[in-house]
Structures are given as C-alpha cells and as structure tokens.
C-alpha cells in the first residue's frame, strides 16, 4: 500500500485514533501497514510517524532512525504506564510542519506498553530522545499536535526560523 502525508489541517489529525484489532481481518494487515509507514517515514526523513498523519485513524505509530530502517519499531495500541524522570526542554519538529521546531517540555523517561506488528506485547522503559519521540507520536494518536502544547512565545520564535528554512528549501529545489 502506498501512503502519503495528509495536509496539516486534515480533520483526522484532531481525532482520537481507534485501537487496532489484531483479531479482525480488516483492510490493514499489520505487517503491510508497518512496512508502508516505514517507507514513507524514511522517504520524508522523519524519526516518527503516526497512522493519522497518513489518513489512517488507527492507534499505530512507528519510530526509529530513517537512515537505518532495521532500527524502526512498530507501536500498536500504546499505553503510557508511567512518566518518570525529570521534565526537560528540547526543540521538537514534526513531519506535518516542516522546519517548525518548537521548544517542548517533556518527561525524560517513560514506561510504556505496546504491541508490535507481530502481535507481541511488551512493557518497556524509554528515555532521552526515544521517550520524546514516543510521547510526540502518542499525542498524534490522541488528536493533539505539538503546536497545541507549545507556549505562544516559542511558536512565534519558531515561525520566524521556519520562514528562513522554507526559503532555503525553495532555493535548493530551484537549483535541482
């Protein structure tokens, strides 16, 4: 299946995703969905991608290094068991908003439970960037965008930097 990103104003991005049901043979085979999402995330050079960003209203996301597809994990029906560690600020981006990097405060570690595309459930602790990516993609499944959580000051500052980023990208494409 060939996937693409929906527009940033698509209503699916504001809806809570539905749980993926492994027991029902539906239109989405878990392995095929995972592979298609991996293809798109790697093509877009992202480190995380939620199914709603592809127009699919399911409780699924992937995360990993786009330069190393073997590092990408599938996350079906995730639950945050516990947010641990300290809250830290870090600049965060999103495939839905190219070049918009917002200063976000998130827990440095989390304990989570999720199922992979092979229908194997695990409870694990993530920390650092992996915890941040998990939380960002989990928010997508709740219909929450990072722009909803950022402070107005950080949004305005990021939008100024985004304009420069967009102009640079346009110049690069013009040279191709």
Ordered by where they begin, the domains of the chain are: 11-175 (3.90.45.10)
pLDDT at 6: 96
Give the global pTM: 0.91
Condensed to tens digits (0 to 9), the pLDDT of residues 11-47 reads: 999 999 999 999 886 789 999 999 999 999 999 999 9
In angstroms, rounded to a whole number, what is the distance separating the alpha carbons of residues 54 and 6? 6
**Contact yes or no for 165/99 (Cβ under 8 A):** yes
- Helix segments in 12-145, DSSP class H: 30-44, 128-141
- How many helices (H) does the chain have, and how many strands (E)? 4, 5
In angstroms, rounded to a whole number, what is the distance separating the alpha carbons of residues 76 and 143? 16
| Residue percentage of the chain with pLDDT more than 70 | 99
Condensed to tens digits (0 to 9), the pLDDT of residues 86-123 reads: 999 999 999 999 889 999 999 999 999 999 999 999 99
| Residue percentage of the chain with pLDDT more than 90 | 80
Instruction: State the catalytic residues.
Output: 137
Six token digits for residue 4:
């693409």
Residue 67 CB partners (closer than 8 Å, separation 6+): none
pLDDT at 62: 98
Residue 176 has pLDDT above 70, yes or no: no
């Amino acid at each position: 299946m060939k996937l693409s990103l929906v527009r940033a104003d698509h209503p699916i991005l504001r809806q809570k995703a539905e749980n993926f049901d492994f027991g029902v043979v539906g239109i989405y085979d878990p392995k095929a969905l995972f592979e298609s999402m991996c293809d798109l995330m790697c093509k877009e050079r992202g480190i995380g991608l939620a199914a709603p960003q592809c127009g699919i209203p399911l409780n699924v996301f992937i995360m990993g290094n786009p330069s190393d597809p073997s590092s990408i994990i599938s996350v079906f029906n995730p639950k945050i068991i516990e947010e641990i560690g300290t809250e830290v600020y870090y600049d965060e981006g999103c495939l839905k908003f190219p070049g918009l990097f917002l200063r976000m405060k998130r827990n440095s570690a989390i304990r989570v439970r999720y199922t992979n595309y092979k229908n194997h459930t695990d409870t694990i602790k993530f920390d650092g960037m992996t915890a941040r990516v998990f939380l960002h993609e989990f928010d997508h499944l709740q219909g929450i965008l990072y722009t909803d959580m950022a402070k107005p000051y950080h949004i305005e500052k990021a939008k100024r930097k985004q304009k420069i980023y967009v102009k640079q990208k346009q110049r690069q494409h013009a040279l191709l």
